Amino acid sequence: MPAPSETNAHSERVLVPQSVFIEKLNARGQKVGFACVGLDTDIDSPRFPEHIERFGFGYDVDLFNRGIIESVYDLSGTIKINSAFYEGLGSPAFATIRLAIQHIREKDPEIPIIWDAKRGDIGNTNNGYAKLAFDHYGVDAITLHPFLGSSFLDDAGERQLEALAPFLEREDKGMFILVRTSNPSAGELQDLPIDITKLTPEYRRRFGDMDELREMTGQDVVPLYQILAYKVAKHWNKYGNCGVVVGATYPEEIAAVRSIIGDMPMLIPGVGAQGGDLEKAVKAGINSKKAGILINNSRGIIFKSSGSDFAEAARGETRQLRDGINAAIAA
């Protein structure tokens, strides 16, 4: 078992194990940096290179991915594969995802691979999702939805993991829980104000109070995304293998989440095509160890050029992202 580490500097300082995944992530960050390249390989994009013949059956996607991976692997702290762009291929999806993972492992087995699948259901359904992610694909981490919750207090007052348990109990893997996303309508639910002084006795009995969150924020009324961040850090991170997802388009929210989760890792998408400010995102998200961030750029890297130089252009953009992150940290 890895050595314990503090996952929430603002809480009761309960020590939890630091997972194998978090150790791998930290080691990679120190060695290579914190740029996360997203393989959002949309074959229908007008930026998909024209010279790659449309073979069908995922072959064209594989050729493209191979070129990107070979160009950026040594500059990437992590590589994220968005499942939607592969599942849209139909029957070739499984093989195409497996090939992308194989290419990454061949270039460097130490690169943490995140499967951006945004799964989240009741426990017995999540068993299947977890098996696909970790046993069949063999990825290091997955993105998850929090909406079904994942912990409760039993009759003895002991906290038990529930809905996301098939993921969370994979002690050697990583989980990135959606907390504050980068899309324009994210605030419709995620910014919903909650008065945590008005939690019912039944809620407190089943799920606990949030007095500690009130102390952290100094507020009685907090937005839902802050409650989600608190839940992940305080109640779901039993094995020290959790992180959160917060969009780069909302740096103030990034800072608020960081103040709640302590040094836990944060996946930050939204730099590039979505318009997030890199410097602001880094300064808001960096933890006390000047680490703990995964700054993701997908389309802005892989579709930097639609010509035969697409791989070289992706490498240049990845280097620029890595150097920009380092400059922001140094500043």
3-state secondary structure of 176: strand
Cα distance from N-terminal residue to C-terminal residue, the chain: 36
85 φ, ψ to 5°? -75, -15
Output the CA–CA distances (angstroms, integers) from residue 280 to 117, 245, 294, in the order listed.
27, 16, 14
35 φ, ψ to 5°? -80, 130
Beta-bridge mates of residue 141:
114, 174
Output the CA–CA distances (angstroms, integers) from residue 298 to 78, 271, 314, in the order listed.
12, 8, 10
Tracing tokens 């952290």 back to the chain, one arrives at 216
3-state secondary structure of 61: helix
The DSSP symbol for 293 reads: E
Output the CA–CA distances (angstroms, integers) from residue 44 to 29, 86, 124, 278, in the order listed.
33, 12, 35, 27
Residues 6 or more apart whose CB falls under 8 angstroms from that of 128 comprise none
CA atoms of 113 and 105, how far apart (whole Å): 9
3-state secondary structure of 137: helix
3-state secondary structure of 188: helix
In which region does residue 194 sit, left (phi positive, over 0), alpha (psi from -120 to 50) or beta (all else)?
A: beta
The tokens describing 11, both together, are: 């809480």
Catalytic option among 24, 31, 118, 289: 118
User: Does residue 118 have an active-site annotation?
Assistant: yes
Catalytically active residues, by annotation:
118
